[in-house]
Structure 1
């Protein structure tokens, strides 16, 4: 079984933002890395994120189910993101992600 979480309120976004800036913040990908880091740490991102208890409860439900689902998509944005990934061609999906994170087009 697979648990596919959407946005979850944890320290991960801040850690990821620091890492992306540390690796790519001053090179040729600086505009993109800055946009991604800003998106990850935005207050609006944290407000929309789901509590970690949602994932813990889903894991509990999955491991105790008599007939568990193959896939559990939970948390903010998980289901729409999975749908879009399957419904859109790669370039269109990349455009959606780029616009959502504010990454400038290259």
Structure 2
């Protein structure tokens, strides 16, 4: 079974921007790192981690679990876009690189 989370509120965001800039900000991935850092700083909507925990519980208790469980804010939309768009277009969309 595969849990496929969308945008989930976690402690990860607290240091993401700083770490992205420190590790990749001046290298060949600088532009991408900056775009992702800004995106992390401006994230306003996200699901609580409890939605993932509830999904895991549901999966474990199911006599016939599904193979995939998209869960959280924008999970289904992000997965649909990933299936429909070419890789470079999808990557540009989720990182908003101009």
| Secondary structure of the structure 1 residue equivalent to 2:3 | strand
**Alignment root-mean-square deviation, CA:** 1.7
4+ long deviations beyond 4 Å:
none
State how far apart, in whole Å, the 1-side matches of 2:88 and 2:18 are. Answer: 27
More helix by share: 1
- Aligned pair partner of 1:61 in 45, 52, 58: 58
| Secondary structure of the structure 2 residue equivalent to 1:48 | coil
Contact 2:35 2:95 in 1 (8 A): no
State how far apart, in whole Å, the 2-side matches of 1:25 and 1:2 are. Answer: 32
Which TM-score applies when normalising by structure 2? 0.85
State how far apart, in whole Å, the 2-side matches of 1:65 and 1:28 are. Answer: 46
| Alignment length (residue pairs) | 98
Change (3 A) 1:70 1:82: same
Task: Give unmatched runs, 5+ long, in structure 2.
Answer: none
State how far apart, in whole Å, the 2-side matches of 1:17 and 1:86 are. Answer: 28
Tell me the CA shift for residue 66 of structure 1: 1.2
1:72 equivalent in alignment to 2:69 = yes
| Secondary structure of the structure 1 residue equivalent to 2:65 | coil
Which TM-score applies when normalising by structure 1? 0.80
